[in-house]
Amino acid sequence: MTPIEYCQEKAAKSGSSFYYAFLFLPPERRLAITALYAFCREVDDVVDECSDESIARIKLAWWRTQIEAMYQGKPDHPVTKALAPWLIKFNITSERLNAIVDGMEMDLNQTRYLDWTGLRHYCWQVAGVVGELSASIFGYTDEKTLTYAGNLGLAFQMTNIIRDVGDDARRGRIYLPIEDLQKFNIKAADILNGKHSEGFEALMAFEANRARQLYADAIAALSEADRRSQRPGLMMAAIYYALLGEIQDEKWQVLEQRISLTPLRKLWLAWKNWVLGGKSVIKQIKQGSLTS
């Protein structure tokens, strides 16, 4: 299996919404973003799949050596071999790749966040930075587009957090800020024990509004000149925004199940926003509507 095939298989097996956006890209950009995504999956899997914290830390440290080796022209892993050709062309910096590893390491250091400031920092490390890297690969002319991409990454991560409340709780993690739980009189034990209540629904609606604002902030920063090149991000926004609406329609039943969109619906949303240049999801986000 070649490095490119390895990364493609990693992306396809994940079932991620990102995969559907990759399908529409020109060959070089598709290879670069697929390699970047595979890198993110590799380091994320270290934390999710290693039950021994010390081993997880060793593996993340190993990935840092792989990043360094790649920038020295000596890539060793299939992912770094696939990513190496695009480092200069698409401004993929070691600082940003290491920031992603830093974010994954945060999951080993803490399982709770006091406030939005702390959670936002985590979301930035694991998703905002990825948004910036992705924007560089897609291509941009206006520096504000990086602001758009960073905010969109934050919005995606908040959507994931909302979707995965139950899954994360079963791993002993609660990403929702403690101050938010206190605001709605929800105890950590309620979430860890899967207790659904009116207060929990109010909490989730509050977090969804925060995510919607991040989507709105992203769209507000997107330059008209870069809309066409940034269509892959807008395609992903359409899918994630529709997922947020689906979760709301399901009355925030995320403690015992993982709500998702069908592959056919994801493909339809991706295709529609590719053809329309993202106009559909831009209009939807500006209107604040969660229906699709």
Q: What separation in angstroms does the CA of 34 have from each of 10, 55, 100, 181?
A: 9, 27, 16, 37
Q: What is the pLDDT of residue 15?
A: 61
The verdict on 78 and 123 lying in the same domain is no
Q: What is the pTM of this model?
A: 0.92
Cα end-to-end distance, the chain, whole Å: 39
CA distance 231 to 276: 9
- The predicted pLDDT at position 71 comes to 96
CATH number at residue 60: 1.10.600.10
How many separate domains does the chain show?
Answer: 2
26 with 125, same domain?
A: no
Last residue of a domain, one of 109, 144, 167: 109
- Distance (Å, whole) CA 214 – CA 158: 9
Residues 153 and 274 in one domain: yes
Domain range for 87 is 1-109
Check pLDDT > 90 for residue 79.
Answer: yes
In the listed set 49, 84, 109, which residue is the last one of a domain according to the structure? 109
Whether residue 3 is found in the same domain as residue 102: yes
Closest CA to 153 of 183, 123, 176: 123
Of 66, 89, 109, which closes a domain? Answer: 109
Name the burial class of residue 88, with classes exposed (0-12), middle (13-18) and buried (19+) by CB atoms within 10 angstroms of its CB. Answer: exposed
Write the pLDDT tens digit of every residue in 161-192: 999 999 999 989 999 999 999 999 999 999 99
Q: Is residue 292's pLDDT more than 60? A: no
